[in-house]
Structure 1
Amino acid sequence: MRSPTMVDSAFAAALAVGGITELVVGAQDETQVVPAVAAVLIGAAAMLLRTRAPLPGFGLAVLVFATSEVPSTGAMLTASMGLGLLVALSSVAQRCSYGAGIAAAAGTFAAFGALSVLGDRPWDVIALLLGIGTAWGIGRLVRREQERNAELAAVAAQLALEREARADEAVRVERGRIARELHDAVAHIVSVMTLQVGGVRRSLTVGGGHDRETDVLRAVEDLGREAVAELHRAVGVLRALASEPDQPEGSPEHGLTPPPRLCQVEQLAERVRAAGLLVDLRVEGEPRTLPGGLDLAAYRIVQEALTNVLKHAGPARASVVVRYEDTELTVSVADDGPGGPAGHPGHGLTGMQERVSMYDGELVTGAGPDGGWSVCARLPVPRA
């Protein structure tokens, strides 16, 4: 059995001190001192069972109270005994079943009500009824609050699990989409390389005298086609794992249409302006050719950030800055809309974070100093 709580121990000690003080002030006869002190101490000890064994503790408190009601025992009824009895009854109502609490309250009222009537103190019945009803009601209210808190904690835990599951699902879908887009970029590059190798091979074949070179180029061409086929199969597996629908018609995967690149950000800004958003675009530094996947990631970050501004910022102006440096590419999108940061976070930011993490970059998002929302991605690039 676990030890009584510190609260129970302190309460029991307080009842013992209060009861003995009341006995001393009451100036008992010498013959009443021992049984009176014993009754006070036993009643106080019953409080040690209030938490771990409420029914036995209540029974002990009732026994002490009833014994003190009988003058022949030599015990003296003290206020501490009455308080202990009510607290024990409240504990039964709080920690035991509803039926046990009702039975304890009714039995206590019946027993001590009869003693009050037989003892020519009928008015004590009213005080007894009020005390017992109050103690039982407090116990039931505490129990109801505890059950409500437990239910709220369970609901909060369930919501946290669901929120985590939705976040994991968003990350999985974004990773699948990023993998598919990288597949498009790499497949396009490999396809163009294969076509170029095939053109060179055919030109050598027409000229003649380059059998060895022709064989090497044919092998490279075959490997290129095989690589594209493997990429198609890989993205098919990714889509199946993500339970995504088939690639829509017109996607780069259905042909050699290249994926978008950062150099096309001006066309992107024009499309967003046509949708009703004022966009200021500034390119700093010397634009240069970037690795295909990183180029696509930077374009998608700008695209997603502008989409978020359209969705959440309301009437606003967006500022897009693309900065080329020796070892870093920085793209930032900021708006001055009244929408504030509350509406911006979502799956779009999840996708941005995944793209930036893929290239060991850094993504900073948050409210701007003058309101609105800002997104800034820093991506390391090979030195020019």
Structure 2
Amino acid sequence: MADGAVRGTRWRAGAVTAVAFAFCLLGGVLQIDDTLGPPPVAAYVIAVVSCAVLPVRHRAPLAAVAGTTVCGVLVQPLGLLLTPLIVVPAVVAAYSLAVRLDGRAASAVTLASAALLVASTPLFGDLSWKDASRMGLVAASPLIAAVLGHSTRNRRAYLAAMEERARRAEESRDSEARRRVAEERVRIARELHDLVAHQITLANAQATVASHLFDARPEQTRKSLRELVATTRDALDDLRATVGLLRQSGDAVAPSEPAPGLSRLPTLLESFRRAGLEVTVEHEGTARPLPPGVDLTAYRIVQEALTNVAKHAGTGTARVRLAWNRDRVTITVADDGGDAPAADQPPGYGLIGLRERATAVGGHLSAGSRPEGGFLVSTELPLPPARDTAAEDAS
């Protein structure tokens, strides 16, 4: 493919040079005395020399213009008539110069070339109309070629800019697609972590109780196993609902089971109580409905915080507090056990996921050890503006 392009370029360069050579020789047919005759030797010399520099006009356009202009200046001293045909190589060089050089520089060089070509013709006596028009064409030919070359340069620059813009737009689309895929992977990982960690922690606690009481207290063992069955069934239901939530697109139909929210908080706390963690709840202010995303975030924060208490705190009690203000709800989960996670260990993915959740809905989450002992998770989530019920009733 590259070899074919090179051969095509060489063929075009050779064709342009051959055509310029033919026109230059044709210009030598017209003699100074306005008679027609075979091209003299000087015409061949001018044609050969001026066309010999054309193949380098792409790499060295200034040198090509200079060479063809010098040949044009020597036309009259060599006894030839300066015509537009004999300066065709200079016209080709002026076009190539305008294509490859800045507009102002190309214009200055082309004007200088045209001026030199016209100034090379000695004027004696009255200037006939025929001579004036001929010199006007000689001067105008490279200028017209420069204008065409400048237009070609602008068109190529425009096409290159459009191609670059299309390339950047394609890269931007690819980057946006990769970013969305990464965000979706993080979202899926966060949902599954919160769900699996909670349910597996409860199931492990219930299975541990059943194992310890299997021989000594069979009735208590059966109760723990029944609770284990209920926990695993709830885990399957939650997993099905979570996968359904993750599979839907922006305009998709909602899954058969809604995403969990604070309305399911009593059921969540009861599952922890069955696993041996006594949880107390405090409410402050007037509760208000939350947007679906904030509601799910609030539920997951309480779920993950209590799961960490059950796994790490080494205590049987925890406290959940929900404080409702005008523009935010503050949720705190505290325990009196040990610090979780340990100070010399990096934070787990649970707390990282909770911070990401809170930030995604415009909230803020903090977690750390309490001065009086234990661990505290606190988050503030934004609330939608409260409706003016008095105004609604009056209307």
TM-score after normalising by structure 2: 0.48
Q: Which one has a larger percent helix, Structure 1 or Structure 2?
A: 1
Q: Larger radius of gyration, structure 1 or 2?
A: 2
TM-score after normalising by structure 1: 0.50
